[in-house]
Amino acid sequence: MIKVQTRQIHLGQALALLAVSQALVVLDGSIVNVAIPSIAKGLHFSESNLPWVLNAYVLTFGGLLLLGGRLADLLGRRRVFMFGLVLFALSSLAGGLSQGAGQLIAARALQGVGAAMLSSAALSLLTSIFKEGPERNRALGVWGAAAGSSGAIGVLLGGVLTSAFGWQWILFVNVPIGLIAAAVTPRLLPESRAAGSHQGFDPAGAISVTAGLTVLVYALISARSSGLGLTVGLLVVAFVLLATFVLIELRNRTPLVPFRIFRVASIASANLVGLFVGASLLPMFFFISLYMQQVLAYGPLQTGLGYLPLAFTITVVAAVASSLVTHFGFKAVSVGGLALVVVGLAWFARVSVNGSYAGDVLLPSLVAAVGLGLTFVSITVAAMGGVPAGDTGLASGLLNTSQQIGGALGLAILSALATAQTANEAAPPTALSLTDGFQVAFEGGAVLAAIGLALALVFMRRTPTADVAAMKDAA
């Protein structure tokens, strides 16, 4: 138990530490976007391997989030949180010192491992420190705002650092922040473990799902160069690995993902929608950055500043979205937000080789930003609705995993489409062929967001009240 005096003195500081740590994790998924051209030039990345700068991080992060939560429950949440922070900082240092593409991809994968440890442990710490009810809801609101705005802020920070110091500093900046956060953790956060309900690891489940998703994304990225036979073979391997994961989970007494939780309709629908939100969000940042730099000829700093309205809008909308959910229900807010995301991405699909920042970037990004702010908060509320206190960490981890894996798959699919379109028109690429490729990618993103919208309309309920009984029966 946490003493009352400790809570009163350290509650705000603890929340600040946890929110900053979560922001650091989300930010690092997007901060490299502006630096992509500089990284490609400096480390001689091929066009087909370039998305792995993002995917290596996202896949290990998303694939290991649930195992990270289990480790935190068994070994101690504060201990795993600190380990994750230190690993994240040291792998960032290794990434910044990389001399080749393979070294950077390996370092980014290690960053994802550290991020999975600290993010899942941080959420468990938050739910154990803050009392259930209004106090925890306010804390989750701060957590959500930090996560929702960090993606766009990361692009801005990436532009400033790349322009001023070089791409390596988008990684070096994590080192002092991570190590300082780890150093102050024992003073601000209590140690805690779960009660005896979770008494086992599931490394086989974590390995099988991470390996399956990695093979799947690689098959999609390399489809053009690998040929039909190898691509089909890789897809079969991915299917077998993911099917193995399902069998492991069904037979394991302490599974990584107890499938009973999906009996709660709001959790199942929120994760489905979250998958497609991630699939449209991460590629959007990726291709906007490339369009501004490769077609509009913006430098890294200009590109980062170009994201400032997007970051500000997401932050403001996320701050007010919780009250909209209270008044209108999470389904209405999710549907409205996703509709705006579809409109924004469809608008981006009209980018021109002779375009302008105002017409081709600013206006569609503002529409998409409003939609993303509404959607992110509303599906988080949906994912947590009707969940007993003992399953809040699992429910949050599932949503985070869905969004991260959706982002990796969306980037793989849309990058393959964009690269194919560009290569079919010109070799080497021209500004016109690149623009046509970006148009295809944004069209694909709009389709993915539209699928999420359809799923929200069909499967989401207005409130999770009807799911509470199902969750209690399943427990």
The CATH number given to whatever domain includes residue 143 is 1.20.1250.20
pTM: 0.80
Together in a domain, 240 and 311: no
Together in a domain, 109 and 222: no
Together in a domain, 240 and 266: no
Residue ending a domain, among 141, 166, 190, is 190
Give the H/E segment covering residue 169. Answer: helix 169-172
Residue 195 belongs to a domain: no
pLDDT by 10s per residue, the chain, length 475: 444 334 443 778 888 898 888 888 888 877 887 788 888 888 888 776 777 887 788 778 877 777 777 787 778 889 999 999 999 999 999 999 999 889 999 999 999 999 988 888 887 787 778 775 567 666 766 776 777 667 667 877 888 888 888 889 999 999 999 999 999 999 888 887 766 544 566 788 888 887 887 788 777 766 666 777 888 999 999 999 999 999 998 888 878 777 877 877 788 888 999 999 989 988 888 899 889 989 999 887 888 788 888 878 887 887 788 778 878 888 999 999 999 999 999 999 999 999 999 999 999 999 999 998 889 888 877 877 666 655 666 676 788 778 877 887 888 889 889 988 998 998 788 999 999 999 999 999 999 999 999 999 998 876 544 444 444 444 4
Environment class of 251 (CB within 10 Å of its CB; exposed 0-12, middle 13-18, buried 19+): exposed
Residue 112 belongs to a domain: yes
Residue 197 belongs to a domain: no
Residue 393 belongs to a domain: yes
Rounded CA gap, 394 and 257, in Å? 8
Q: HSE on the CB side for 212, CA within 13 Å?
A: 19
Residue 137: per-residue pLDDT: 62
Number of domains in the chain: 3
Rounded CA gap, 51 and 283, in Å? 10
Residue 254: per-residue pLDDT: 76
Together in a domain, 158 and 37: yes
Residue 450: per-residue pLDDT: 97
Residue 196 belongs to a domain: no
**Alpha-carbon dihedral of residues 290, 291, 297, 301, nearest 10 degrees?**
-60
Together in a domain, 270 and 218: no
Amino acid at 182: A
Residue 85 belongs to a domain: yes
Q: Which domain holds residue 248?
A: 202-253
Q: What are the start-end ranges of the E strands in 28-91? A: none
**Cβ atoms within 10 Å, residue 46:** 10
Residue 379 belongs to a domain: yes
Together in a domain, 358 and 383: yes
Together in a domain, 37 and 170: yes
Q: Are 367 and 338 in contact (CB under 8 A)?
A: no
Together in a domain, 420 and 310: yes
Together in a domain, 387 and 238: no
| Residue with the two structure tokens 């500004």 | 431
Residue 26 belongs to a domain: yes
Residues with Cβ within 8 Å of 40's Cβ and at least 6 positions away in sequence, in order, are 50
Residue ending a domain, among 234, 253, 272, is 253
Together in a domain, 343 and 455: yes
| Residue with the two structure tokens 């309709």 | 265
Verify cis geometry, omega within 30 degrees of 0, for the bond prior to 258: no
Residue 75: per-residue pLDDT: 82
Together in a domain, 223 and 340: no
Q: What's the token pair of residue 35?
A: 């630096």
**Cβ atoms within 10 Å, residue 231:** 17
Residue ending a domain, among 190, 225, 244, is 190
Residue 196: per-residue pLDDT: 54
Together in a domain, 432 and 466: yes
